[in-house]
Amino acid sequence: MNADELVQRNVVLLPSGIVEEQALRYSRQLAERFATEFLLSPQFVAHCSLYQAAYPQRNAKRVKEVVQVIAKGFRPFQVSMNGFGIFWHTFVFWDADKSEDLRRLHHGLLEALNPLREQQLLPIHQQLLTDVQIPAPLRESIRDYGNPLAGDQERPHMTLTRLKDARDADLALERLQATADPTGAMCFEATMLYLTEVGPHGTCPRLLDGFPLG
């Protein structure tokens, strides 16, 4: 692989126990009723995204080293899932509380990893920068961080699926809320920080490394 070629990496938390089971159940419920792009499964791991970006291949090793160092600087903490939402018309999110722990971890990753991008963007993100239908704050986040949900736009979440038809979005949310606590509230303990590959639609097809917190 060329040293200048871009590789995508995501830094994530993995839900445990009942929260993971519930995420898989939600994803299946949506796939049973709507046309979707993917289903959470062992092939596409349920995960809570912290910072996803693309880096020159020559920086891939350094990305791993940085994530390991940051993991050592944080103690395990609770992550609270608190509700459902739609992003960009078709992504179905199970949102997490933007706690102080998650905020500090996200911004720590952002500060350390963003320079390793060397201001590079994927072609799709370059196109989005000129799409006036996308809110300006999200375009600014893409420009500055290579991700629409970074910095001030941070939105910790688990992606349950992506709908093929945006017209299904409201019904999808209604279905989730009808089969669960309307708030979607559940908790898990974050004890590891994981570095993953990035698949289609932001999925997690493979864990590359895991580092204990603390």
Q: What contacts 135, CB < 8 A, 6 or more positions away?
A: none
Q: Which residues pair with 7 in a beta bridge?
A: 55
Looking at residue 53, its pLDDT comes to 97
What is the model's pTM? 0.93
Backbone φ, ψ for residue 91 (5° rounding): -80, 125
Please state whether beta strands 186-190 and 77-87 pair in parallel, antiparallel, or not at all (unpaired). antiparallel
Structure tokens at 134: 């996308």
* Amino acid (one-letter) located at 164: K
Confirm if 55 and 63 have CB atoms less than 8 A apart.
yes
- In the chain, where are the structural domains located? 7-212
The phi-psi region of residue 162 (left if phi > 0; otherwise alpha if psi is between -120 and 50; otherwise beta) is beta
| Token code pair at residue 78 | 């609770």
pLDDT, tens digit only, all 214 positions of the chain: 566 799 999 999 999 889 999 999 999 999 999 999 999 998 999 999 999 999 999 999 999 999 999 999 999 999 999 889 999 999 999 999 999 999 999 999 999 999 999 999 988 888 888 888 889 999 999 999 999 999 999 999 999 999 999 999 999 999 998 887 655 679 999 999 999 999 999 999 999 999 999 9
- The CATH class that applies to domain 7-212 reads alpha beta
Q: What pLDDT score does 27 carry? A: 97
Specify the pLDDT at position 3.
65
